[in-house]
Chains A and B, each alone.
Chain A
């Protein structure tokens, strides 16, 4: 059984249809990427997974369980943590407070402390900055914080919305290296990206989303060789 399975999801904003029946799945242990241009519906897909937007049709299953029974704040307890678009760091809260909120749904104090050590090991920068408020971090540091905060939920599935957005190439590389590390430590990842170059290097499989529809689904090798992907997302004529 896949860890996450999206079946024929249709989603609307008022009368505007943003998702036109998409289906995808993510297996335990994988890094799967969802690539698409601006306005393709990537963030909308993640809002559906977060239960912030109820699909008009179709369903989202996590470990076989239908997520539609849950409210948005209960999703993290089911093992899904989000790194939202634009990072979504709480700018007036300190780095520590942001991380504590990442573990808001947990009560296992000792293990939370362990996870704190673990994210500080992955992102040593955050340890140095722990009493600084989120809003004064650089873009790259905010990305680290947002990722670390999601990990504090000890999720089985980490969902990231364009983590490379607005970062310099070397920073993007380090973000993706940390993703590989996180994945190795046992967290399954769904990575939404416009930066297909990088996404196709770290992922094992990928989907291409175009105006609310999945138009392609393949291994990353297959996607890299695909003429349409090369032209639209990799800039190769």
Chain B
């Protein structure tokens, strides 16, 4: 196997693209861990819901013609919709799976979050069937929903979810530019720039805003934060909101980049992003960004030497090695000692 510089550089670009996805998703894990010292096991599914809401939105924009007349606006609206969809899902997960168990043993909310994760996956998968079941209810000879309405509801739910793979329109196309004999697609550039800008925005929010300071205070000590007048529940809820919004952005990006989405799509990126968060130092926001890119690049470097199908083995070997040799990650400090 000869060494080919231009294909290596293309692989690096690929690593940065995938790293952007990992970093955006990893931030949600890390932010939630920061305020709760808990892993949100439903985070991968929140990402998936973002992709589905985005897909539904962009298809409707295709239907009404906006996608063809003003593609940038249509893509913008799609991102906003996917982000809001994921954010609402995240806040709901916090409300249902975490808040009622705030004082319970630590294992309880983790289990309820796994429950939420399974629920969300099955919910999206079974939406059309649920629509049929609910609209098909009859009481004696009386049908609850008239036939036309029934078809409308089922049609809507089929457009939204379902077990089959769904496909985004090819927003980015395959266009790009060449530097020497290296071909760089616009999609990679757009994803990289959008991700980096989003993360810079997040950094400033956490560093300088009133919410950011409150969030860091809650991460350090909830009792003392509440003595300062900080509403802990509100801060936790907003932390889920922001982390989930970032996952929603990643969901729409992944949909537009890989085109195909499915209800199970959150699982592997979820675990990879969790790996990235641990790699960077869980609870640490710059760490999650760094970990995401490090993992993305680590994977493509790994597959320079190994067959591409070994990519996941590379990631998870990295996870195991960090957990054994440096559980605090690259930028993390000894959280365990502080939080217990």
Contacts and interface: CB of A to CB of B under 8 A. Distances in A.
Query: Is chain B a partner of chain A in the same complex?
Result: yes
A226 to B, nearest CB: 33
A100 B213 contact: yes
Interface in A80-134: 81-82, 84, 88, 90-93, 97, 100-102, 104-105
* B contact face: mostly helix, strand, loop, or mixed: helix
Contacts of B216: 90, 92-93, 97
Given A52-B223, A92-B220, A93-B220, A105 B213 contact: no
Interface string B309-326: 000000000000000000
B229 A77 contact: yes
A61 B294 CA distance: 56
Interface residues of B, number: 17
A59 B72 CA distance: 61
B229 A88 contact: no
B226 A84 contact: no
Interface in B30-59: none
A77 B226 CA distance: 11
A60 interface: no
- Among A84, A90, A97, max chain B CB count under 10 A is at A90
Interface residues of A, number: 25
B116 to A, nearest CB: 26
Given A93-B213, A101-B213, A101-B214, A88 B221 contact: yes
Interface string A2-43: 000000000000000000000000000000000000000000
B228 interface: yes
Contacts of B217: 90, 93, 101
A50 interface: yes
Contact of B214 (A76, A88, A104, A153): A104
Nearest to A135: B220
A88 B213 contact: no
A90 B219 CA distance: 10
Which 3 A-B pairs rank lowest in CB-CB distance, beginning with the nearest?
A105-B229, A72-B226, A88-B224
Interface of B: 210, 213-214, 216-217, 220-221, 223-232
Interface of A: 50, 52, 71-77, 81-82, 84, 88, 90-93, 97, 100-102, 104-105, 149, 153
Given A50-B226, A101-B225, 4 more contacts: A71-B226, A73-B230, A73-B231, A102-B228
